[in-house]
Amino acid sequence: MTQARLKHFGWGREGETMTAEEERFALDKYRHRLGVDDFDEKRVPGLHELQLPAPRIAPPRSLAAFCSSELYDRALHTYGKSFPETVRGMLGDYANAPDVVAYPCNEAEVAAVLDWAGGVGAAVIPFGGGSSVVGGVEPRLDRARYRGTVTLDTSRMGRVIEVDRASRAARIEAGAFGPALENQLKPHGLTLRHFPQSFEYSTLGGWIATRSGGHFATLYTHIDDFVESIVVLTPKGRLETRRLPGSGAGPSPDRMFMGSEGIFGVITEAWMRLQDRPRFRAGGAVRFADFFAAARAVRAVGQAGLFPANCRVLDPEEALNTGAGDGRSAIMVLAFESGDHPVEAWMARALECCRDHGGTPETGEGDAHREGAAGRWRTAFIRMPYGRERAVPRAIINDTFETAITWDRFERFHDSVKAATLAAIETATGRPGQVTCRFTHVYPDGPAPYFTFHALGRHGGLIEQWQAIKNAASDALIAAGGTITHHHAVGRDHRPWYDRQRPELFAAALKAAKRALDPQGLLNPGVLIDP
Amino acid sequence: MTQARLKHFGWGREGETMTAEEERFALDKYRHRLGVDDFDEKRVPGLHELQLPAPRIAPPRSLAAFCSSELYDRALHTYGKSFPETVRGMLGDYANAPDVVAYPCNEAEVAAVLDWAGGVGAAVIPFGGGSSVVGGVEPRLDRARYRGTVTLDTSRMGRVIEVDRASRAARIEAGAFGPALENQLKPHGLTLRHFPQSFEYSTLGGWIATRSGGHFATLYTHIDDFVESIVVLTPKGRLETRRLPGSGAGPSPDRMFMGSEGIFGVITEAWMRLQDRPRFRAGGAVRFADFFAAARAVRAVGQAGLFPANCRVLDPEEALNTGAGDGRSAIMVLAFESGDHPVEAWMARALECCRDHGGTPETGEGDAHREGAAGRWRTAFIRMPYGRERAVPRAIINDTFETAITWDRFERFHDSVKAATLAAIETATGRPGQVTCRFTHVYPDGPAPYFTFHALGRHGGLIEQWQAIKNAASDALIAAGGTITHHHAVGRDHRPWYDRQRPELFAAALKAAKRALDPQGLLNPGVLIDP
């Protein structure tokens, strides 16, 4: 079955979009929330209306068969899926389009692209699914320094190469998209169970390069812990780490590449730790009078050593917006799963923790994961990324940012970040907006709060308005001790705050390592560090 | 209460040694195992019989108050606790003694030592408890290149500075020894629960610098996962990571220093994730017909997502040697613990996994952790390090090495490593020895096998004999795909195999990072990389 190709603008494949009902639901909420009747809707130009700068470089004959400078390929690889990128896409601004898009099928072709780029002095942008919301894949760089830009798209390397059932591990090519990866593991009774919101349109290599946060709300939150070994192609050559269940031999080589966002090399494959497919489940939703009461329950569950697969909390407004609640209660979505044993004992103890903190479990039977408040939230979660391409043309400013903070600081942190963001919305747009919060992941020592904001902007000023709000929110969370990102990554957009967050001497060490592996500074320039 | 000072030769404090009964038990076993009646026992010189080279450097007046070049301090800091170091200590060879031992009490004093050493061109060896068994603290270096050696002993920085009960975390100085650290946490109802075999005589900073493996056999095996943030003093300045429960902002800065074995800087403090003190326990021992049957049960338990605190397996000979078994069965020591909930459901399911693979639970009541086969093994485990100083003077060659391997390769791996080691013992010593194996830690994708070997050497050739055996064992485990160390670290002794194990380009990145933080190459030269 041939799938439609990815949309050059917006989420998913050509022909996919929100249903009319989803759009009506979302717009009604926006009308109510932002106090407007009608939206100033702008038309988004079609692919063939776009004017791209002429390519500055062309691949040699030996690479031409898997390279393209066609309009579609260059447009598709100009942007990730961030708010400002979507605005620029809507405005038809493709000035930063890559000159060439390479689709290598194997390591030799990846190495050949790196060699060619090194020879002509072109930058190389590794590209998985292109779902970055932090400017991680846009060729936004010094065009005087680089004689061209090659986007290296790994999507033709998507095979599960080898499965080790005894160790529950598989060797997987980095370009495997979520669904294709799971489909190849399914006959073996195995699953990676890493389901970021971008699951359908992101790749294993992208997950590793950005320290993606996945399905599990506790314990196995980041992709990091599933990586057994990796292969990276750098401009200086090939690097393969040893396949080990654990090691104490020096600093972990794998961990140096996790979160490296393509600045050291191209991840081409990895041995990944897998799970048995879950056979036992227990779960449901729990209501709380307010968000902080729910947070205290989450803390109790998180510190009890029960390790629920899901333990997400929505504040009342977020619960209302996603259809999971009525706006009067905070909702906890709680679930346990196992491929080995019934999990009722675990669920029972977690519910006790919730009751201790004033929680009221939602009654109901069946697969709680897919029904009730939990199920409604799950559907909204999966469909959410389709909203941006419909909101931006209506000048709706809607974005999310996520962080992590220890429990001792959480309440004050939450209030200060929310207040700063709300104030910035009012200043930037001249009218109140909305800021909601949920927890996406939970650690024994603190939560990962995820904020969503909604504002009404105006065409012509959307990027500046968004940037003002983004700056205020980011300043607030860095000032209050959080991280600039828990799982969206740094890219180009988070650089100013990442630079404040990370120790200066660590940046010096990263730069030195970068020079050792990529002496010409070709790879993803501007991401994480200046080349 | 003032404690006796640490012994300059052997394990523990002055006055501490094996009991007569322990020694008789051990020697009887050795007589039987090695087929000898009597041992050729050599006298170990006392402290005041030692001849140390004259110190080549002296600290400036401003540092003199916390520095020493006294015989005791220099002798104590000449060696860790490895087999060859113990032989050289027995031979009175202290040629590599440091010139000066510094005992800084705070960061300012650590920085002053680094500055002074940089000024005079002296190497600096960070020293926690000195329990390294891999040549990690011995000033074995190019004396032409370095104008002197300063050992920087962190033992005067041992306070728990701050406790955050809400997040269950504490800020702890790096020089805290295990017992003092736990004693300071106890009034808060908290515990780090990191109990490496060296617990009494090793420090938090040492654990982090070497990626120590601790109490937990599953899940939280390495100290790595307990580190929330760290402070490191490098020759280029101070580095402090942000205190976060989780982050996806670039490669983890903490992880670069975990396992760095003092080559980048001196870890001075860390925020550590803690546990509630356990209130619920279940545990016991399970017998298996052979080691591989036990291994299959361990795999089932490890992949079930139950996360036992203890899940160690002794092969029949190792069970016999430690008094935990009769030599006919492999023994699994299994335990669950929780500060939150009863763990019977967990234990019951783990025992089912054991029975599925032919295991027979040992019957008995009470605190299984301290009684029965599990308790006998635990006592032997804690007392084991005292044996070396009594064995070496009798020309008994006894050492351990540890590794990790995925399940698919485990059985062949075990057999080839064991056979290579047995053969090397016979070649090196002219008589058969013994090689036993246990699992210290277990991952879903593979175990961490820990080998012990016993041989009878001869005085005058002990180090060469040991080295021949060590080489054969290390060659075998690297050839068969293992890691040269799961938790003993690399130091100077594991360098040849570490160099084969790690990707060359990762070594290049490490070297570059080292040059950025320690441009003069002063810190712990020869460990992990050549400076």
Question: pLDDT digits over B55-94, tens only?
Answer: 999 999 999 999 999 999 999 999 999 999 999 999 999 9
Q: Which helix (H) or strand (E) holds A321?
A: helix A316-321
Inside any domain, residue A173: yes
CA B510 to chain centre: 23
Q: Are A193 and A275 in contact (CB under 8 A)?
A: yes
Asked whether residue A167 falls in the same domain as residue A232, the answer is: yes
Q: Are A232 and A215 in contact (CB under 8 A)?
A: no
- Is A260's CB within 8 Å of B249's CB? no
CA angle, A492 then A497 then A499, to 5° = 85
Q: Are B270 and B229 in contact (CB under 8 A)?
A: yes
- Dihedral class, residue B244 (left if φ above 0, else alpha if ψ from -120 to 50, else beta): beta
Distance from CA of B257 to the nearest CA of A (A): 7
Residue with tokens 């009175």: B92
- Cα(A161)–Cα(B1) distance, integer angstroms: 62
Q: What is the pLDDT of residue A366?
A: 46
- Cα(A211)–Cα(B508) distance, integer angstroms: 23
- Is B249's CB within 8 Å of A484's CB? yes
- Is B249's CB within 8 Å of A307's CB? no
Question: pLDDT digits over B225-256, tens only?
Answer: 999 999 999 999 999 999 999 999 999 999 99
Token pair of A80 as six digits: 């990730």
- Is A407's CB within 8 Å of B255's CB? no
Number of H helices, E strands in chain A: 17, 18
The per-residue pLDDT of chain B, averaged, comes to 95
Q: Over 60: is that where the pLDDT of B186 sits? A: yes
Distance from CA of B317 to the nearest CA of A (A): 25
Distance from CA of B307 to the nearest CA of A (A): 10
Question: pLDDT digits over B386-404, tens only?
Answer: 999 999 999 999 999 999 9
- Is A515's CB within 8 Å of B512's CB? yes
- Cα(A270)–Cα(B446) distance, integer angstroms: 17
Asked whether residue A205 falls in the same domain as residue A148, the answer is: yes
The CATH number of the domain holding residue B145 is 3.30.43.10
Domain end call among B367, B385, B403: B385
Least CB-CB distance to B512: which of A303, A340, A512? A512
Which residues 6+ apart lie within 8 Å of A142 measured at CB?
A525
Distance from CA of A500 to the nearest CA of B (A): 10
The per-residue pLDDT of chain A, averaged, comes to 95
Inside any domain, residue A462: yes
CB burial string A200-213: b at 16+ within 10 A, e below: bbbbbbbbbbbbbb
Q: Over 70: is that where the pLDDT of A370 sits? A: no
What is the rounded average pLDDT of the residues B159-177? 98
Amino acid letter for position B255: R
Q: What is the pLDDT of residue B350?
A: 97
Asked whether residue B349 falls in the same domain as residue B425, the answer is: no
Asked whether residue A482 falls in the same domain as residue A506, the answer is: no
Inside any domain, residue A310: yes
Asked whether residue A94 falls in the same domain as residue A146, the answer is: yes
What is the rounded average pLDDT of the residues B418-433? 98
Largest CA distance in chain A: 69
Q: Whole domain around residue A466: which residue ranges?
A: 395-493
**3-class DSSP state of A141:** coil
Q: What is the 3-state secondary structure (H, E, C) of B114-129?
A: HHHHHHHCCEEEEECC
Asked whether residue A421 falls in the same domain as residue A460, the answer is: yes
Picking from A505, A511, A518, A528 by the largest number of B CB atoms within 10 A of its own CB, the best residue to mutate is: A505
Asked whether residue B182 falls in the same domain as residue B147, the answer is: no
Picking from A341, A488, A492, A530 by the largest number of B CB atoms within 10 A of its own CB, the best residue to mutate is: A341
Distance from CA of A460 to the nearest CA of B (A): 32
- Cα(B33)–Cα(A102) distance, integer angstroms: 65
Residue of A272, A416, A297, A415 lying closest to A351 (CA atoms): A297
**Inter-chain CB pairs, A–B, below 8 Å:** 292
Q: What is the pLDDT of residue A238?
A: 98
- Is A503's CB within 8 Å of B241's CB? yes
Asked whether residue A401 falls in the same domain as residue A304, the answer is: no
- DSSP, res B80: -
- Is A249's CB within 8 Å of B484's CB? yes
Chain B residues with beta carbon closer than 8 angstroms to that of A253: 502-503, 506
Q: What is the pLDDT of residue A215?
A: 80
Work out the angle between the directed axes of helices B291-303 and B410-429 (0-180°, nearest 10).
Answer: 140
Question: pLDDT digits over B19-38, tens only?
Answer: 999 999 889 989 988 999 99
What is the rounded average pLDDT of the residues A255-261? 98
Asked whether residue B229 falls in the same domain as residue B326, the answer is: no
Other beta carbons less than 10 A from residue A278's beta carbon: 18
Distance from CA of A195 to the nearest CA of B (A): 16
The CATH number of the domain holding residue B414 is 3.30.300.330
* Cβ contacts of B71-77, under 8 Å, gap ≥ 24: B71/B47, B72/B5, B72/B8, B72/B47, B73/B101, B74/B98, B74/B99, B74/B101, B75/B8, B75/B9, B75/B47, B75/B50, B76/B6, B76/B7, B76/B8, B76/B101, B76/B130, B77/B101, B77/B125, B77/B127, B77/B130, B77/B137, B77/B151, B77/B153
How far from each other are the two terminal CA atoms of chain B, in whole angstroms? 42
Distance from CA of A501 to the nearest CA of B (A): 7
Number of domains in chain A: 3
Asked which of A99-113, A405-419, B375-389 is least confident by mean pLDDT, the reply is B375-389
- Is B448's CB within 8 Å of A245's CB? yes
Q: What is the pLDDT of residue B371?
A: 65
The CATH number of the domain holding residue A368 is 3.30.70.3450
- Is A247's CB within 8 Å of B506's CB? no
- Dihedral class, residue A530 (left if φ above 0, else alpha if ψ from -120 to 50, else beta): beta
Chain A residues with beta carbon closer than 8 angstroms to that of B238: 505
Domain end call among A352, A385, A418: A385
Chain A residues with beta carbon closer than 8 angstroms to that of B259: 248-252
Distance from CA of B103 to the nearest CA of A (A): 25
For A513, B202, B253, the CA distances from B256, given in Å and listed in that order, are: 12, 21, 5
Order the strands of the A169-173 sheet from edge to edge.
A160-164, A169-173, A266-273, A227-234, A237-240
CA A316 to chain centre: 24
- Is B505's CB within 8 Å of A276's CB? no
- Is A483's CB within 8 Å of B248's CB? yes
Q: What is the pLDDT of residue B367?
A: 52
What is the rounded average pLDDT of the residues B33-49? 94
Work out the angle between the directed axes of helices A504-517 and B504-517 (0-180°, nearest 10).
Answer: 140
Amino acid letter for position A242: R
Asked whether residue A464 falls in the same domain as residue A506, the answer is: no
Q: What is the pLDDT of residue A365?
A: 45
Tell me the backbone φ, ψ of residue B168, rounded to 5 degrees.
50, 65
What is the rounded average pLDDT of the residues A357-369? 72
Chain B residues with beta carbon closer than 8 angstroms to that of A517: 505, 508-509
Q: Over 50: is that where the pLDDT of B365 sits? A: no
Least CB-CB distance to A512: which of B488, B515, B528? B515
Inside any domain, residue B376: yes
Tell me the backbone φ, ψ of residue B100, rounded to 5 degrees.
-140, 140
- Cα(B94)–Cα(B110) distance, integer angstroms: 25
Q: What is the pLDDT of residue A367?
A: 52
Inside any domain, residue A424: yes
- Is A249's CB within 8 Å of B273's CB? no
pTM of this prediction exceeds 0.90: yes
Q: What is the pLDDT of residue B370?
A: 61
Least CB-CB distance to B490: which of A245, A250, A340? A250
Chain A residues with beta carbon closer than 8 angstroms to that of B481: 242-243
Which residues 6+ apart lie within 8 Å of B306 measured at CB?
A340, A341, B218, B336, B346, B349, B350
Chain A residues with beta carbon closer than 8 angstroms to that of B338: 304-305
- Cα(A269)–Cα(A104) distance, integer angstroms: 13
Q: What is the pLDDT of residue A280?
A: 97
Instruction: Please report which confidence band the pLDDT of residue A72 belongs to, taking 50, 70 and 90 as the band edges.
Output: very high
Domain end call among A385, A406, A435: A385
Asked whether residue A229 falls in the same domain as residue A351, the answer is: no
Q: Over 70: is that where the pLDDT of B449 sits? A: yes
Token pair of A250 as six digits: 């020096």
Residue of B239, B73, B248, B260 lying closest to B150 (CA atoms): B73
The CATH number of the domain holding residue B256 is 3.30.465.10
Asked whether residue B292 falls in the same domain as residue B381, the answer is: yes
- Cα(B439)–Cα(B319) distance, integer angstroms: 12
Q: Are A52 and A71 in contact (CB under 8 A)?
A: yes
Inside any domain, residue A150: yes
For B18, B444, B448, B517, the CA distances from A245, given in Å and listed in that order, are: 36, 8, 8, 30
Q: What is the pLDDT of residue B415?
A: 98
Order the strands of the A123-127 sheet from edge to edge.
A67-68, A100-102, A149-153, A123-127
Distance from CA of B21 to the nearest CA of A (A): 35
- Is B483's CB within 8 Å of A244's CB? yes
- Is A255's CB within 8 Å of B259's CB? no
How far from each other are the two terminal CA atoms of chain A, in whole angstroms? 42
Picking from A261, A445, A497 by the largest number of B CB atoms within 10 A of its own CB, the best residue to mutate is: A445
What is the rounded average pLDDT of the residues A180-207? 97
- Cα(B145)–Cα(B123) distance, integer angstroms: 9
Q: Are A367 and A279 in contact (CB under 8 A)?
A: no
